[in-house]
Chain A
Amino acid sequence: MAPILSIRELRKVYDGGFEALKGVSLDIEEGEILALLGPNGAGKTTLISTICGITTATSGRVSVGGFDNVAEFRAARALIGLVPQEITLEPFAKVHDTVSFSRGLFGKSADPARIEDILRKLSLWEKRDAKIMELSGGMKRRVLIAKALAHDPRILFLDEPTAGVDVELRRDMWEIVDELKAGGVTIILTTHYIEEAEAIADRVGVITGGELLLVEAKEQLMARMGQKQLEVQLTAPVGAIPDALAQHELQLVNGGGALLYTYDTRAERTGITTLLNDVAQAGLVLADVQTRESSLEDIFVGLVSGDGASADDVQGDAA
């Protein structure tokens, strides 16, 4: 099946000479949730803005549902809903009016039942006659989502949807995203909260310095890039790692009460069996063992700091 969004060699150089996107290529399948992860200034918002037509690309091509986003901008944009990062709402407008406005702007005829449905789903129905300026920050974010959904887009861009919102609202947002996905909407969200990408994304893209370092299925990424750690807790603490265990490159933790073994899940042999045998032969008695997976955050920090695989190594799935 053709991807619903196809980006090829997208470059954006701003007037001042700053290159915000350095040839980004990316395919997004219909119905998936892609999280674009990157630090501030990585190019996340520029990428979204260029796809949506808010900024013009210096070169490259974007195809939305098979339509070129410049030559066939009407058909392309009709498929897209955008929730911007900043709360940009007219303070004097009423909730219902501003959401209806967004629908009309996309050329769709008024549909009060549909607007009611959207407002109810986002817990805004009670506030439909309230002015924007009377709403809390969280409610305003909901209004932005309602506006983006008012024309029933097939692709929804959420630009840092939970930046600066409290934990409760963040969880609500994730639920909303889940519901939208269940309805078949493709969602691309940018975030610098790794926790967010880990919680809701199907695939994760890591972008920094205008380059897409990788795009991979979340689990695959964690499995591929991730390292696991095995903590061997001892019944009695030891002062140093016995010489017999030197080959395993262990760390002594918990004041000598535990040995930490780092291994690669991708390796043919993890070395766990040998390690445990050697531990027993060294005369150490195990109290407990536990394993830990590295989080996306560990992977992300590794990638953007250059410790992880290079862009060339890992871009396989991105193009």
Chain B
Amino acid sequence: MNWTAVATIYKAEMARFWRTFLQSFISPVLSTSLYFVVFGSAIGSRIQEVDGIGYGAFIVPGLIMLSVITQSISNASFGIYFPKFIGNIYEILSAPINFLEVVAGFVGAAATKSLFIGVVILCTASLFVDLDIQHPIAMVAFLVLTCLSFSLMGFIIGIWAGNFEQLQLVPLLVVTPLVFLGGSFYSISMLPPVWQTITLFNPVVYLVSGFRWAFFGQADVPVLLSLCAIGGFTLACVAVIWWIFKTGWRIRA
């Protein structure tokens, strides 16, 4: 492994994060606070407890997942798309580094950024609601795996995208609906039976469910299944990226 190269890419990507720190940091803090003002204070008090948990606290895991997933995809896709767009991808392609090192640098940085944002949201949320995390290690594991897997997915989107519009296409048309319909703000047991079955085809359900279990000890689907789902998703993304670098799809003519 060319660890110096990995660290170089990682640091350069993190430098971009710090350059846009206000945007990177303030934006999720502000939007999370707004969610809590609306759902926690304004209408949250009129919503019944879900599975014995106050609604304000119930939405915290889903809210973190929503931000972490969208941030991971956007950070990683932009990270690799930008050099493609301005043309300095030539440097990456002609350097003595393999695909694992490229991915480790770009995806590692993207995942770090979204992990940071996830933690910021968690801290912000704890200002509004009392949070008692029952399985902290599992919580961290789910958070890290989610950051990692969706950053991998973002990396694939960044390589696939041919323009800025396409860069936004998958996050807007696929990921956001999946996250909103994946039980981020409700328990799937609240859905009619048919929709409960349909929902199980949504991979985000397994993430949110597992993550919520780490907080409250309650899950819509078995925790092990959640872990397998996210592990499988991560491996699938790695396989796709391996294939991309092997064939040069959309990066190497």
Contact = CB atoms under 8 A, between A and B. Distances in A.
Contact of B86 (A15, A88, A109): A88
Which of B2, B12, B88 has the most chain A CB atoms inside 10 A of its CB?
B88
Given A101-B8, A105-B5, A105-B8, A75 B86 contact: no
Nearest to B8: A104
Interface of A: 14-15, 49, 52-56, 73-78, 80, 82, 84, 86, 88-93, 97, 101-102, 104-109, 147
B234 to A, nearest CB: 26
Contacts of B86: 88-91
Which of A93, A105, A108 has the most chain B CB atoms inside 10 A of its CB?
A105
Contact of A80 (B15, B87, B94): B94
Contacts, number: 79
Given A104-B7, A109-B4, A90 B82 contact: yes
How many chain B residues sit at the interface, stated as a range, is 20 to 34
Interface string B4-38: 11011101100110010000000000000000000
Which 6 residue pairs are nearest across A and B when measured between Cβ atoms? A104-B8, A88-B87, A74-B96, A52-B94, A77-B96, A107-B2
A105 B7 contact: no
B90 A88 contact: yes
Interface of B: 2, 4-5, 7-9, 11-12, 15-16, 19, 82-83, 86-88, 90-98, 248, 252-253
Given A56-B248, A90-B82, A102 B91 contact: yes
Given A73-B96, A90-B86, A92-B19, A107 B4 contact: yes
B7 to A, nearest CB: 7
A108 B94 CA distance: 15
A74 B4 CA distance: 13
B88 A90 contact: yes
A54 B5 contact: no
A93 to B, nearest CB: 8
Nearest to B248: A56
Nearest to B95: A105
A175 to B, nearest CB: 25
Nearest to B20: A92
Given A54-B90, A77-B96, A78-B96, A105 B252 contact: no
A276 B164 CA distance: 73
A143 to B, nearest CB: 11
Contacts of B83: 90
Nearest to B94: A52
Which of A49, A77, A90, A107 has the most chain B CB atoms inside 10 A of its CB?
A107
B5 A104 contact: yes
B158 to A, nearest CB: 15
A14 B5 contact: no
Nearest to A51: B94
7 contacts: A53-B93, A54-B90, A56-B253, A74-B2, A86-B87, A91-B86, A102-B91
Given A54-B90, A105-B9, A109-B4, 8 more contacts: A53-B94, A74-B98, A88-B86, A90-B83, A91-B86, A97-B15, A104-B5, A107-B4
A106 B96 contact: yes
A77 B5 CA distance: 13
Contacts of A56: 248, 252-253
B90 A82 contact: yes
